[in-house]
């Protein structure tokens, strides 16, 4: 099928709807359903946890509640993200028979248009490591994907602005040093449209660029449409499901002492004993090299501290 793609240009949507939309579209999809791209932004801030994660291991849920941030666990992949009105979502829901089979090709098809849209706005954007959209080596968008029912789903969020302090405060982390290194990592390794362009681009301009880039890249026109009654019911069902957060989720019950800031950047922590003394080494590793390291407790020389970080990093790589 090479007919038009349905465009749902939705403006601002409440947090639950901004996630339930693609879940419901995918659940309702069959081979006769239109392939759909939705463009929207969340009306208010929230956190969103990946399918194989544990919300309570990822986030300080009490802090999120106290500060009015809803937490939603999506059924597609990727990590924990902070989402708000300074981010523009693109959500691609295509029937699996009309999408590539291999994951790398799926991402190439659906993430090349946002890259081209950024380029058209004057940013040197590239698609790196299969699914990371970067500008000058810094990530400027989040990505998640999945197969739900008969649909292949790829979603992303372009960062117009990003509050690193809120994301870092919400993460459940093993130590204050870990949090500091993670927050600094966000500031150094995330890019935003506002920061890179030196001004805020109009949302309408970005939407237009996105639509044009999808049309050119897919070779199909995007035609504004709306949800069918069946799809609307499916989205509402998904809203009800997503509203019931299982705090344990599907992942391990506690955070392991590592955190992915971007695909290039991790924070690792080692704790143990040096003789009788407890010690802790926390490090941010970028492109395989220690960018910043902090040592607490027992006195360790740099070589020994790096060796401990190397060991926890190797173990993390083995575990995936």
Count the helices and strands in the chain (H runs, E runs): 10, 16
Residues 228-287 binding another protein (CB under 8 A) are 250-251
Give the SS3 label for residue 198.
Answer: coil
In DSSP terms, 222 is beta-bridged to 5
Residues 18-77 binding another protein (CB under 8 A) are 50-52, 75-77
Per CB under 8 A, does 130 bind another protein? Answer: yes
CB atoms within 10 A of CB 252: 12
Looking at the Cβ atoms of 6 and 75, the one nearer to another protein is: 75
233: CB partners within 8 A, 6+ apart: none
In the complex, the smallest distance separating the C-beta of residue 102 from another protein, rounded to whole angstroms, is: 4
Binding part of the chain for another protein, among 96-104, 157-165, 189-197, 267-275 by CB under 8 A, reads 96-104
| Cα 278 to Cα 276: distance, rounded to the nearest angstrom | 7
Query: Cα-atom radius of gyration of the chain, to the nearest Å?
Result: 20
List the one residue from 112, 147, 256, 294 that touches another protein (CB under 8 A): 147
Looking at the Cβ atoms of 75 and 308, the one nearer to another protein is: 75
Alpha carbon 105 to its chain centroid, in Å, reads 19
Q: What are phi and psi of 267, to 5 degrees?
A: -110, 130
List the one residue from 32, 66, 68, 101 that touches another protein (CB under 8 A): 101
User: Nearest to residue 72, comparing CAs of 144, 88, 81?
Assistant: 81
Residues binding another protein: number (CB under 8 A) = 31
Looking at the Cβ atoms of 75 and 284, the one nearer to another protein is: 75
202: CB partners within 8 A, 6+ apart: none
In the complex, the smallest distance separating the C-beta of residue 52 from another protein, rounded to whole angstroms, is: 4
Looking at the Cβ atoms of 165 and 216, the one nearer to another protein is: 216
In the complex, the smallest distance separating the C-beta of residue 203 from another protein, rounded to whole angstroms, is: 25
List the one residue from 15, 34, 144, 279 that touches another protein (CB under 8 A): 144
CB atoms within 10 A of CB 264: 19
In the complex, the smallest distance separating the C-beta of residue 1 from another protein, rounded to whole angstroms, is: 12
In the complex, the smallest distance separating the C-beta of residue 224 from another protein, rounded to whole angstroms, is: 27
| Cα 314 to Cα 320: distance, rounded to the nearest angstrom | 10
Which parts of this chain interact with another protein (CB under 8 A)? 50-52, 75-79, 99-109, 130-131, 143-147, 250-251, 318-320
């Amino acid at each position: 099928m090479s007919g038009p793609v349905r465009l749902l240009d939705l403006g601002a949507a409440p947090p639950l709807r901004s996630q339930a939309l693609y879940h419901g579209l995918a659940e309702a999809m069959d081979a006769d359903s239109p392939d759909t791209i939705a463009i929207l932004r969340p009306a208010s801030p929230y956190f969103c946890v990946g399918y194989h994660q544990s919300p309570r291991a990822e986030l300080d849920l009490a802090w999120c509640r106290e500060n009015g941030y809803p937490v939603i666990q999506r059924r597609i992949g990727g990590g924990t993200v902070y989402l708000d009105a300074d981010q523009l979502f693109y959500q691609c829901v295509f029937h699996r028979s009309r999408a590539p089979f291999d994951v790398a090709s799926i991402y190439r098809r659906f993430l090349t248009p946002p890259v081209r849209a950024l380029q058209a706005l004057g940013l040197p954007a590239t698609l790196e490591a299969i699914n990371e959209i970067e500008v000058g080596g810094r990530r400027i968008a989040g990505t998640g994907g999945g197969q739900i029912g008969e649909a292949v789903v790829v979603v992303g969020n372009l960062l117009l602005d990003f509050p690193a302090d809120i994301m870092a405060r919400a993460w459940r982390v093993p130590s204050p040093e870990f949090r500091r290194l993670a927050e600094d990592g966000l500031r150094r390794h995330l890019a935003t449209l506002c920061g890179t362009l030196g001004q805020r681009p109009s949302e309408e301009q970005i939407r237009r660029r996105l639509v044009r880039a999808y049309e050119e890249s897919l070779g199909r026109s995007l035609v504004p449409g709306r949800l069918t009654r069946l799809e609307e019911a499916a989205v509402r069902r998904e809203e009800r499901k997503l509203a019931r957060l299982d705090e344990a989720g599907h992942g391990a019950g506690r955070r392991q002492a590592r955190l992915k800031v971007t695909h290039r950047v991790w924070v690792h922590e080692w704790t143990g004993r040096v003789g009788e003394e407890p010690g802790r080494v926390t490090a941010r590793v970028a492109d395989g090299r220690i960018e910043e390291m902090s040592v607490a407790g027992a006195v360790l020389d740099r070589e020994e501290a790096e060796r401990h970080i190397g060991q926890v990093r190797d173990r993390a790589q083995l575990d995936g």
